[in-house]
Structure 1
Amino acid sequence: MNHDNVPGFHNPEIWETLPNARLSPTARDVLDVLTTRQNAGGLVEIRQHEIAKRLGISQAAVSRAIGQLKDKGILDGRHRQGAVLIHPLLAGYESMTHMINHLQDPSTFVWPLNFPTGDMRPPRVSDARSGTGFDPDPDDGEDAPLPDTRPTLRLAG
């Protein structure tokens, strides 16, 4: 990895829509490894066996995850073996200016993402709590009230 151009800026809006891709946990882990190893602009030079070793999974699982990332448009599959390109909208850059310049460059290929990138993510059909009014934090983070009286303790015996 070229440490002169360490990518520190990511487009936060597109990352908020990433849950819409419905990636498998393995695909998300592989994407995390790829984003940490990328050069500015999204080029990642890493072999599947290195990812497998780093995550402690089989190379076949890494291959399936990379296939899923390519199917969703997150990775471009047109690069030589041992290198992948993260979608320009999801890639890391040196700064916002670098990202804008890269995206406006006529030589930058911006392929379509194959998942919804709208503002709101619809609730998952498989979520049993959908439409039930379930509130995971009904008291808005306030401490639960203490009981009025302490229970009497009895010794077992």
Structure 2
Amino acid sequence: MSDSPVPGFRNPDAFEVLPNACLNTTARDVFDILQARQEPCGLVRIRQTDLAKRLNISQAAVSRAIGQLKDKGLLNGRHRQGSVLIHPLFAAYESLAHMLNHLSDPDTFVWPLNFPTGNIRPPRTSDARTNTGFDPNPDPDGGEDAPAPETRPNLRLAG
């Protein structure tokens, strides 16, 4: 892997629809390893033989799992040998701003997913409650301090 920062931001909406892909357990295990090994924007440099050794399965099983991930659209099949590209909506990024910049870049290829997703989109850049009249911290008395109690309660020590 490169010396770039470890990507840590992921689109939470995308992972809520991942069960809709109906991946078999091997494909899900391979996808989890690819997620953990990716560079920012979803590039993963790993060979199928390394994945097979890590999962203690045959290389043919890894190849079938990667084929299923490509069929579902989670991986791009147009990369050179020894690397794969995770779909931009499922890739990890350095930050929300980095994700939004990458997805809005005209050079970013966002290919279709082949399973029911509903409406996956990048997280919002601003709070959805802005300019809606909703006050997230309501103050019922208009900001006045609460009155202090008139008398202090009598305290006794138990025992």
TM-score relative to the length of structure 2: 0.73
Deviation at 1:80, TM superposition (A): 0.3
Moved more, 74-83 or 3-12: 3-12
Deviation at 1:3, TM superposition (A): 3.6
Residue 96 of structure 1 aligns with which residue? 96
Residue 55 of structure 1 aligns with which residue? 55
Alignment of 1:95-134 (within 5 A): 95-118=95-118
Distance 1:86 1:53 in 2: 21
Distance 2:99 2:31 in 1: 19
Residue 32 of structure 2 aligns with which residue? 32
Distance 1:33 1:48 in 2: 11
Question: Larger Cα Rg: Structure 1 or Structure 2?
Answer: 2
Stretches of 4+ aligned residues off by more than 2 angstroms = none
Deviation at 1:65, TM superposition (A): 0.1
Root mean square deviation of aligned Cα: 0.8
Deviation at 1:5, TM superposition (A): 2.4
Distance 1:32 1:14 in 2: 14
Matched, 1:5 2:5: yes
Distance 1:79 1:72 in 2: 16
Unaligned runs of 5+ in 1: 120-157
Residue 18 of structure 1 aligns with which residue? 18
Distance 1:95 1:53 in 2: 32
Matched, 1:83 2:83: yes
Q: How many residues align?
A: 119
Unaligned runs of 5+ in 2: 120-159
